[in-house]
Amino acid sequence: MTSSSQATDHADQGRAAAEQAEQAVAPTPGGASGKRVLLAKPRGYCAGVDRAVDTVERALETYGPPVYVRKEIVHNQHVVQTLEKRGVIFVEETDEVPEGALVVFSAHGVSPAVHEEANRRNLRTIDATCPLVTKVHKEVNRFAKQDYDILLIGHEGHEEVEGTSGEAPDRVQLVDKASDVDKVEVRDPSKVVWLSQTTLSVDETMERVDQLQERFPDLQAPPSDDICYATSNRQVAVKAMAAECDLVLVVGSQNSSNSKRLVEVALQAGATSAHLIDYADHIDESWLDGVTTVGVTSGASVPDVLVLQVLDYLQERGWGEAEEITTANEKISFALPRELRKDLSDNPDSPQSVR
Ligand code: SF4
Contact 199, 300 (CB under 8 A): yes
Q: Is 109 left (phi over 0), alpha (psi -120 to 50) or beta?
A: left
Q: What is the mean pLDDT of residues 288-313?
A: 98
pLDDT of residue 91: 98
> For residue 355, is pLDDT > 50?
no
The reply to whether 8 falls in a domain is no
Ligand 1 centroid – CA 196 distance (Å):
13
pLDDT of residue 17: 45
What CATH number has the domain bearing residue 88?
3.40.50.11270
Cα–Cα nearest to 129, from 49, 64, 215: 49
Look at 331 and 354; give whichever has higher pLDDT.
331
Whether 29 and 88 map to the same domain: the answer is no
Helices (H), the chain: 3-24, 47-63, 77-85, 112-120, 131-145, 159-165, 202-215, 229-242, 257-268, 304-316, 338-346
Residue 119: partners with Cβ closer than 8 Å, 6 or more residues away? none
> For residue 13, is pLDDT > 70?
no
Cα–Cα nearest to 270, from 30, 8, 42, 25: 25
pLDDT of residue 26: 47
pLDDT of residue 32: 60
Euclidean distance between CA atoms 228 and 236, whole angstroms? 12
Query: Angle, to 10 degrees, between the axis of helix 3-24 and the axis of helix 229-242?
Result: 40
Give the model's confidence band at 322: pLDDT under 50 very low, under 70 low, under 90 confident, else very high: very high
Whether 205 and 233 map to the same domain: the answer is no
Largest CA distance in the chain: 67
Give the model's confidence band at 239: pLDDT under 50 very low, under 70 low, under 90 confident, else very high: very high
**Last-in-domain residue among 190, 215, 240:** 215
**Last-in-domain residue among 105, 128, 151:** 128
Look at 6 and 298; give whichever has higher pLDDT.
298
Ligand 1 centroid – CA 315 distance (Å):
31
Cα–Cα nearest to 149, from 127, 172, 115: 172
DSSP string, 296-327: EEE-TT--HHHHHHHHHHHHHTT--PEEEEES
Pocket flag, ligand 1, residue 133 (CB < 6 Å) = yes
What CATH number has the domain bearing residue 278?
3.40.1010.20
Q: What are phi and psi of 57, to 5 degrees?
A: -65, -40
> For residue 172, is pLDDT > 60?
yes
Q: What is the mean pLDDT of residues 190-217?
A: 97
Look at 353 and 297; give whichever has higher pLDDT.
297
Element (H, E) at 40: strand 36-41
Give the model's confidence band at 346: pLDDT under 50 very low, under 70 low, under 90 confident, else very high: confident
Q: Was 228 annotated as part of a binding site? A: yes
The reply to whether 3 falls in a domain is no
Active-site residues: which are they?
160
CA distances, 284 to each of 40, 279, 314 (Å): 21, 11, 12
Whether 277 and 322 map to the same domain: the answer is yes
The reply to whether 122 falls in a domain is yes
Ligand 1 centroid – CA 46 distance (Å):
6
When the pLDDT of each residue in the chain is averaged and rounded to a whole number, the result is 91
Share of the chain above pLDDT 70, in %: 88
> For residue 349, is pLDDT > 70?
no
Evaluated on CA atoms 193, 172, 122, 354, the torsion sign reads negative
- The protein residue whose alpha carbon is closest to atom 7 in ligand 1 is 48
pTM: predicted TM-score of the whole model, two decimal places: 0.89
Pocket flag, ligand 1, residue 258 (CB < 6 Å) = yes
pLDDT of residue 342: 85
Q: In what order do the strands lie in the sheet with 149-153?
A: 172-175, 149-153, 192-196
Q: What digits encode the pLDDT tens for the residues 39-96?
A: 999 999 999 999 999 999 999 999 999 999 999 999 999 999 999 999 999 999 999 9
Number of H helices, E strands in the chain: 11, 12
- The alpha carbon of 191 is separated from its chain's Cα centroid by a whole number of angstroms, namely 29
Q: Was 130 annotated as part of a binding site? A: yes
Angle at 23 between CA 322 and CA 230, to 5 degrees: 65
Whether 97 and 82 map to the same domain: the answer is yes
Look at 26 and 233; give whichever has higher pLDDT.
233
The reply to whether 243 falls in a domain is yes
Q: Give the range among 25-34, 36-45, 92-101, 323-332 with minimum mean pLDDT.
A: 25-34
Burial (Cβ within 10 Å: 0-12, 13-18, ≥19) of residue 273: middle
Share of the chain above pLDDT 90, in %: 86
pLDDT of residue 14: 41
Whether 274 and 308 map to the same domain: the answer is yes
Q: In what order do the strands lie in the sheet with 124-127?
A: 88-91, 67-70, 102-105, 124-127
pLDDT of residue 348: 57
Pocket flag, ligand 1, residue 132 (CB < 6 Å) = yes
Number of independent structural domains in the chain:
3
Q: Of ligand 1's atoms, which has the minimum distance to the CA of residue 74?
A: 5
Q: One-letter amino acid identity for 121?
A: R
Q: Which domain holds residue 64?
A: 47-128
Q: Was 111 annotated as part of a binding site? A: no
